[in-house]
Chains A and B, each alone.
Chain A
Amino acid sequence: MITILDYGAGNLTSVRLAFERLGVTPQIITDAAAYQGGRILFPGVGSAASGMDGICNRGFDRLLRDAVAQHGPVMGICLGMQLLLTSSEEDGGVQGLNLIPGACTHFDRQKDPTAKIPHMGWNTLQHQAHPILYNVPQDSAFYFVHSYFVTPANPTDVLGTTEYCGERFAAVIGHGSLIATQFHPERSGEAGAKLLENFLTWEGVCS
């Protein structure tokens, strides 16, 4: 069973449909009380401040903490990745969930004045071995749309990186049963579908 958290940040349609194309019907919940167990998908498009408000108003902060404490598989996407960290400099500074120590910062165009922001389009991923990236070839392209990127405090939490605007930033991070991507697997063709399929069979254990 897979549960998608709806906290009012962006629409969940494309994430739901991506799982339906894999033959799975996700449960979408708007309140933590509705959670019936199973793996959690934490999506998100929008701004950090309103996203964090939406999460806390629905009790999803506790739900995510509990899931991680019980080693249940959780996957964050885009804003859902950025909010897992300690803080974000978006919206004048926002405290995140601190489930993975680290910070989220804006791309600096001074490092590459030709780079356009948001970072929008297909970019390539260089990654380490991890069950979630099983059978995903090196340099596969994924679809990104973002202006901020995360830097985990612990480098071993970085599972895959991508280059943009003078940075080699963390595009896939993981810590225990928690996994997150800056790109949108639900919009990343076959490579993205492979990653979502891997998540459906991953038990949150990484040996």
Chain B
Amino acid sequence: MLLKRLIVCLDVRNGRVTKGVKFKGNVDVGDPVEMAAQYCADGADELVFYDITASAEHRCCDLDMVARAARALSVPFTVGGGIRGVDDMRAALLAGADKVSLNSLAVEHPEILTTGAKAFGRQCVVLGMDAKRVPKTTQIPSGYEVVIRGGRQPTGRDALAWAKEAVDRGAGEICLNAIDTDGVREGYELPITQLVSTAVPVPVIASGGAGHPTHLVDVLTKGQADAALIASMVHTMGFTCGGIKQALRDAGIPMR
């Protein structure tokens, strides 16, 4: 039986893990690889590293960190942030990453999804998408707009339509982050998660809003997500991967 996945996200700023609230204000919580190894030992099924300062500094994600992570981790991990094209994707994969997450770049240059999928296989092309609640319009019928540049820049595009297009172009997985709930810790944004997850034929990772194991139960059942991404729950709120997974198992969700 295919199991649901618990994925831990580490936002890396200048080589350190930080946790922000709605992309504003960040607190230092530790060394990314040391933390990731600990989460891996505690049962995390997958890890994601976002180099959140790479884009602004016009550089690829920290490849030394990727190489260190590859050495330390025995479960898959994704890297994102600062990927400028197929050469950066190749560098990240060669350094040992299993998947590369593309966000703003994919919106502005969607052909990268196709190029990346052809070069490395669609299984390593993850579409990272930030979606924001907006009034439903003919242009944005789902009521969720794609935003880029860390949530600062609206695109005028419908999140559901973009998810479908990205998969047609080559994305093998979607990490769907809800801007409105991100960092708020009161639960995932279930409606858009369910909309996207049932509309695309690739796995969907729900992100943004986890503050309690029941939030993961909700997004993996009602939200129909294939995986749930968490950050501050384990970084700063005192939950453990093992404890969260046990709570999910107790709720009848199949976990490793």
Contacts and interface: CB of A to CB of B under 8 A. Distances in A.
Contacts of B184: none
A123 B3 contact: yes
A1 interface: no
A105 to B, nearest CB: 18
Interface stretch (B9-17, B67-75, B143-151): B67-75
A190 B74 contact: yes
B74 A123 contact: no
B98 A164 contact: no
A188 B73 CA distance: 10
B4 to A, nearest CB: 8
Contact of B201 (A14, A20, A109, A121): A109
Interface string B83-102: 00000000001111010000
A21 B74 CA distance: 9
A120 B256 contact: no
Taking residues whose C-beta sits less than 8 angstroms from the other chain, chain B's interface range is 20 to 34
B75 A17 contact: no
Interface string A150-187: 00000000000001100000000000000000001011
Interface string A53-78: 00000000000000000000000000
A10 interface: yes
A28 interface: no
Interface residues of A, number: 34
Interface in A107-130: 109, 116-124
A20 B120 CA distance: 24
A45 interface: yes
Contact of A188 (B74, B93, B173): B74
A190 B172 CA distance: 26
Given A13-B94, A187-B76, A192-B74, A119 B2 contact: yes
A141 B96 contact: no
B198 to A, nearest CB: 9
Given A116-B203, A141-B3, A145-B123, A20 B74 contact: no
A21 B172 CA distance: 29
Interface of A: 10-11, 13-14, 17-18, 20-21, 45-47, 109, 116-124, 141, 143, 145, 163-164, 184, 186-190, 192-193
29 contacts: A11-B96, A13-B70, A13-B96, A14-B96, A14-B98, A17-B70, A17-B71, A20-B71, A45-B121, A109-B201, A116-B203, A118-B122, A118-B123, A120-B173, A120-B202, A121-B3, A121-B5, A121-B226, A122-B3, A122-B45, A124-B1, A184-B76, A187-B76, A188-B74, A189-B40, A189-B74, A189-B75, A189-B256, A190-B74
